Structure 1
């Protein structure tokens, strides 16, 4: 009995260790825990002239570089995280390059977890170039590769992969909503959610593995698998709800795609130029001037928008224009929001405005049944060309028509109605993106979504094989754990064994 127990324990331990090693995820060929003994340096404050430039150094040679370039001698290191005003010199020529602040960050209490230093110097290109060249002459120093400081922070466990991605998003944030979302993700909300799911999955996997190996020896408590069933079911429901977010976080990160579509000469390019307040597209009375998609990025109410002008939708014998129309229809199918521009003067006076617009929308939008109509704004342009009686009739017709899409009457020439259109567009964009500071953390990366979908499929595998083949069911939990590990980058090789010891007291 005792020999069977130890053989079973050894088998479970080796299996769990092998399992968790397979779960140890990598990104770009980099495994958590690897180290690089080299020391690196780089300009961290961006290119171009500025008042102050920050040159960052990280690695074992950081203190030596700080001593020789800041004239600190061979005494004790300077006080940590304290700015000192020093002359920055070239160690090879003993020439003063600049006078600035130096800071010392001993590891592990630094951004990278290694010994680090910073040189805060004047931001002139010649000063920066001289300091970088001098650092390159310090033994053991080399220029950093792109993203290498953050990579070392990840290797040292200072940042998870979700925090690393959030840091990149924060650096590239162009709108207020993007900044808020990136800061929330950097605070660890999303990483903690995924880590909690990983912890629960590891517990489930440890219980199932232990049940497989020790159930025959009557060392297991009753109801262990029932508890795993409940945990897997709850976790699957939580992940599925997390995935049903209508891509709000991804839209906010990359921008809401707003496409301007409609017939030729409806004023689409004029609307684009008016909204972005610059001549981004050519405007001409000649029909079919726009042949390709013209894109521009906008900040509307703090939310990022990618605005696209497209070719006028019509039948044409011109091969180039036909290709433009094909691309226009393709963009409309992919759009988050469609601005359907209509020339007011083209609405027949003897026809109901509602029936005309309904037929026009069916020609522009790919389908009225897949949500496109609810993410559509009808823009009745060239209002300034209508006489007063036609205007009154138009507004009267619209007041009695309540379709899903909102309708706004504007004039790109006089600016009439444009503020109301922008306000309406802002409401639509805000509804699509949501508030990044409310509710649970949002998915922000397409790769997160793909791995979470794999996680859900793997949990379904567990439930499918639960009663017929427990080994295959356990493999489903293992695959789900691997999917989460690929998002966070943190699945340690000892964690499953730790749970086996803790929960089942094997060997006690």
Structure 2
């Protein structure tokens, strides 16, 4: 196993830069560059770093040693906390590259070694990546729980129950001449149904975790000149969209990013919906309608017309959408109607209430949950495969299918869960068989 190194803090000029080394030569590198014995593990020591070949001083730094397996990667890990100037960092990295058996790390290689050495499962690895990329408080909280193992523990618990069921099925096949309970296979039916229901309930989450991780899409839709672009600008706090009395100004979907209750929201201003007068506007309306259809939430906007009625209607609204009457300062009483938020994007009247209502909806539907949630499509695919295999096993039991085929369905279910966490181990199955039935006593 080669020793790897990398700059672990952000590149560029900084007060402090952290350079990490992991592998069997890490302690040798530390002692060679500092000219002193390795310090006690997890104790920061101030030292001078040198190029061992020339004895040229590189920097005055802090060094720390994390002895394996009690380290991030499970190997011996050394950290040099050096001054963050480009020349200092380049000098230290250049010296590290000159050691035999030491090379620059590939992207993600420290984390990969942590996974290979059993320090993290795949869901925790993904949680770490999400934590690094988190832009909002909700994303941070969700990623931190996942990195700390909340999702992995849930799936490992289900996997443990599956292992026991599979062990029972295997025992009924391979040890039929042993003194085993006669209803061994029959016992599995309720357990299979219970586990399948738990996983299905986990799946029926409205894609809450994925939306929090990737962001919620909110589209502003309505006819031309009702103030959609003005509202976008008001919520963005800047002139993100061109505002004009001329109909059809917005020809493409314009976007701004917002943080509502810790949830990242992409707010999209779409082209005014009407009979298009040209090919470009027609394409803009098509894109706007497509964006409205795929959005998680919609702000359906109308405004008073010159005859005292409404410009547009709420036909595009669906359950959960917010209905908005803009230019409320020009509207006569009764135009808003029940469940309609009256605002003025121009003056800001009612916009605070609109933001509060939108925030409440976003938080209720997609805000951070205290329970582990699915955060990636591959998790969902694995869980769907697991439920399908569990249902196949249950139906096989009910129809008197060969126990070997039932066991194969259980293996498929277990492999589906194992793909999510990266843990599939046949030895675990053998342990359960021998522990529960004392075969060969």
**Shorter-chain TM-score: what band?**
over 0.9
Which of 291, 314, 321 is matched with 1:361 structurally? 314
Aligned to 1:47: 11
Aligned to 2:380: 449
Matched, 1:419 2:352: yes
Unaligned runs of 5+ in 2: none
Q: Is the 8 A contact 2:139 2:368 kept in 1?
A: no
Aligned to 1:203: 164
Matched, 1:57 2:18: no
What SS class does the counterpart of residue 224 from structure 1 fall into? coil
Aligned to 1:345: 304
Distance, in Å, in 2 between the alignment partners of 1:148 and 1:103 is: 20
Distance, in Å, in 2 between the alignment partners of 1:102 and 1:493 is: 42
Q: Is the 8 A contact 1:336 1:375 kept in 2?
A: no
Which of 131, 145, 160 is matched with 2:121 structurally? 160
What SS class does the counterpart of residue 361 from structure 1 fall into? coil
Distance 1:65 1:468, change over 3 A: same
Unaligned runs of 5+ in 1: 1-36, 366-372
| Aligned residue runs from structure 1 range 274-423, under 5 A | 274-342=234-302, 344-346=303-305, 348-349=307-308, 351=309, 360-362=313-315, 364-365=316-317, 373-384=318-329, 386=330, 390-391=331-332, 393=333, 396-398=334-336, 401-402=337-338, 406-423=339-356
What SS class does the counterpart of residue 212 from structure 2 fall into? helix
Distance 1:397 1:267, change over 3 A: closer
C-alpha deviation, 1:124, in angstroms:
1.7
Structure possessing the higher relative contact order (Cα contacts under 8 Å, 6 or more residues apart): 1
What SS class does the counterpart of residue 117 from structure 1 fall into? strand
C-alpha deviation, 1:269, in angstroms:
1.8
C-alpha deviation, 1:317, in angstroms:
4.4
Matched, 1:474 2:407: yes
Matched, 1:170 2:103: no
Aligned to 2:193: 233
What SS class does the counterpart of residue 118 from structure 1 fall into? strand
C-alpha deviation, 1:83, in angstroms:
0.6
Distance, in Å, in 1 between the alignment partners of 2:368 and 2:165 is: 34
Distance, in Å, in 2 between the alignment partners of 1:436 and 1:165 is: 17
C-alpha deviation, 1:348, in angstroms:
4.4
Distance, in Å, in 2 between the alignment partners of 1:102 and 1:214 is: 58
Distance, in Å, in 2 between the alignment partners of 1:47 and 1:296 is: 28
Aligned to 2:365: 432
C-alpha deviation, 1:327, in angstroms:
1.5
Aligned to 2:221: 261
Which of 392, 414, 418 is matched with 1:485 structurally? 418
C-alpha deviation, 1:412, in angstroms:
2.1
What SS class does the counterpart of residue 55 from structure 1 fall into? strand
Distance 1:208 1:347, change over 3 A: farther
Per-residue CA deviation, residues 165-203 of structure 1 (Å, 9 max, x unaligned), is 111111111111111111222222211110010011111
Per-residue CA deviation, residues 218-270 of structure 1 (Å, 9 max, x unaligned), is 53222211221221111011111111111111111111111111112222222
Distance, in Å, in 1 between the alignment partners of 2:107 and 2:422 is: 20
Distance, in Å, in 1 between the alignment partners of 2:234 and 2:254 is: 14
Matched, 1:138 2:99: yes
Which of 26, 31, 52 is matched with 1:91 structurally? 52
**C-alpha root-mean-square deviation of aligned residues, in Å?**
1.8
Distance, in Å, in 1 between the alignment partners of 2:34 and 2:268 is: 53
Distance, in Å, in 1 between the alignment partners of 2:306 and 2:413 is: 56
Distance 1:212 1:407, change over 3 A: same
What SS class does the counterpart of residue 49 from structure 2 fall into? strand
Q: Is the 8 A contact 2:138 2:367 kept in 1?
A: no
Per-residue CA deviation, residues 132-173 of structure 1 (Å, 9 max, x unaligned), is 122111221111111111111011100111111111111111
